[in-house]
A and B are shown apart, each in its own frame.
Chain A
Amino acid sequence: MSQPLPAVDYLKLPEGGEPYLEGHRCQTCGASFLGKRNVCSKCGARDQMQAVHLPNSGSLYSYCIVHRSFPGIEVPYISAIVDLDDGTAIKGNLINIEPDPAKIEFGMPVEVVYGDALGRRDKEGNAYIAYFFQPKSG
């Protein structure tokens, strides 16, 4: 059995280390982006992008509760926009909280957790690791 693969290219799985999200920060204007890029789309600076480990904590900016998705996708689930503590925006599933607007608060602290990609496999049978958000404990 081969090692699980990252489900998106900005999720890094260092050998023997903890998974983390990788961003790129512009050394000229400070804008930060998920994943790799060569030119800053905020200020246009070239060759100023530096890879950074993104923080595993942030807060809920916006969300919706998905009750109908494409066939075969389990619902309901919370589709969330999260502002990580360094200002990078990221989208993902908010888990371990009831999908009920009365229970979900804008601005609530969340943490990034890593785990199996809901059992999804590619054609070769490879397993994948994904990231999720959950309410911050404590």
Chain B
Amino acid sequence: MTDAYVVGVDMIKFGRFPEKSVPQIGAESALLALDDCGLSIQDMEALYCGNLMQASAMVGQRILQEIGQTGIPVVNVSNACATGATAFREAWASVKAGLYDIVLAVGVEQMGRGLLGGTGGKGIPKEGLFGSGTMPAVFAEAGMEHARKHGTTFEQFAKVSVKNHHHSTMNPKAMYQIETPLETVMNAEMISYPNTKLMCSVNVDGSAAAVIATEKKARELGLLGRAVKVCASVLTSDRWQERDLVMPDVNTCTQEAAAKAYAMAGLGPEDIDLVELHDCFATAEILHYENLGLCGAGEAGRMIDDGEVALGGRIPVNVSGGLLSKGHPLGATGIANIYEVSTHLRGEAGERQVQGARIGMTHVIGLGSACGIHILEKAA
């Protein structure tokens, strides 16, 4: 089977664009990614489009109406917060399978404000009657499970947000570029203890796109120089766990995806130079240090205390600013993190560059659940 490469990739600066349509927002990053490799939509053999909130509205086709209706096959993908990663993976799979030589993947979302989640159903509203189905609460409960097992503190969870906000001061495409000290994070409005408002991802609009090609095609087009090899692409769902149906287990599906990704790439955690992982809430990031094998069980609190996951540390995590400060447009996130890692592997990340980065990992979790992991390597 051929290797597949990211030959063009980009994202728009995340923000709030109520005056634009979802396809318009998606078209912007699609054009940027095509420009990144000097190609046009006429060169693309298929489009894989990730979007959650308008999953029934043919967003991919409407993006082509904005940038060129060439009649290529379009697949619209929806998979909660793993939507972008799933669209990217479907694009990757089509190239690996030999179906196409070069394809485009776009992830896009236009978000409202306020809490996500909650419980629906017939009869009376269940929110606040049988606990909370809001996302800050669900991920707070997952964090408190870690606190129960390992004594993780509110302060350690809060430090994740301080770190990621610091990182985003160096990322012009992040929603925010604001230093956010520990007291500010801990004293912000409490949403669901232990997650304060500044420990919740930012609802923003955004899009990101990638052009994926076979090795042969990338070479023919003279694009291997800046290309990034996709060494592993893995998607898992939530295996049965004793509490999973009332307390979504984001750990097992991540651990299993990570193990498969390392095996597929023939690599281990010690080979990874940077990670963009799913910090939808500060509590979640702590769990994934262990789930991805970046440290041993129970060591995540120490990782954040010792600065090992900060830029300049042993294994920098979310140098983009993460979902906590770069922002989290659900369908775009899984391709935006491919952009971030690729930018470091290309040595083009400017002030926030992870020095000497050669191999990086991306991770997303869509609650319900879907876990997507990619391992990327600078082309030889």
Contacts and interface: CB of A to CB of B under 8 A. Distances in A.
16 contacts: A5-B123, A7-B123, A8-B130, A62-B144, A62-B148, A63-B141, A66-B132, A67-B189, A75-B128, A79-B192, A89-B242, A92-B131, A93-B131, A106-B148, A122-B124, A128-B124
A2 interface: no
Nearest to A41: B240
User: What are the 9 tightest A-B residue pairs by CB atom distance, in nearest-first order?
Assistant: A64-B140, A79-B131, A89-B243, A73-B128, A65-B193, A120-B124, A91-B246, A79-B132, A106-B148
Nearest to A121: B124
Interface string B333-374: 000000000000000000000000000000000000000000
A42 B241 CA distance: 8
Contacts of A65: 140, 190, 192-193
B191 A67 contact: yes
B247 interface: yes
Given A66-B192, A92-B131, A93-B131, A7 B126 contact: yes
B193 A101 contact: yes
Interface string A66-95: 111110011101011101000101111100
A19 to B, nearest CB: 14
Q: Contact size class for A? A: 35 or more
A74 B128 contact: yes
Interface string B129-150: 1111010110011111100100
B269 interface: no
A51 interface: no
Interface string A48-69: 0000000000000111111111
B125 interface: yes
B118 interface: yes
A61 B247 CA distance: 10
Q: Contact size class for B? A: 35 or more
A40 to B, nearest CB: 9
A13 interface: no
B126 A61 contact: no
B245 A70 contact: no
Given A91-B247, A106-B148, A130-B129, A62 B141 contact: yes
Interface of A: 5, 7-8, 31, 33-34, 41-42, 61-70, 73-75, 77, 79-81, 83, 87, 89-93, 101, 106-107, 117-118, 120-122, 128, 130-131
B178 to A, nearest CB: 22
A69 B135 CA distance: 10
B203 to A, nearest CB: 14
Given A34-B245, A120-B124, A63 B144 contact: yes
Contact of A66 (B123, B134, B154): B134
Given A64-B194, A68-B115, A118 B145 contact: no
Contacts of A91: 130-131, 246-247
A120 B119 CA distance: 15
Contacts of B126: 7-8
A42 B243 contact: no
Contacts of A90: 246
Given A66-B192, A70-B134, A79-B137, A61 B128 contact: no
Contacts of A81: 131, 141, 243, 246-247
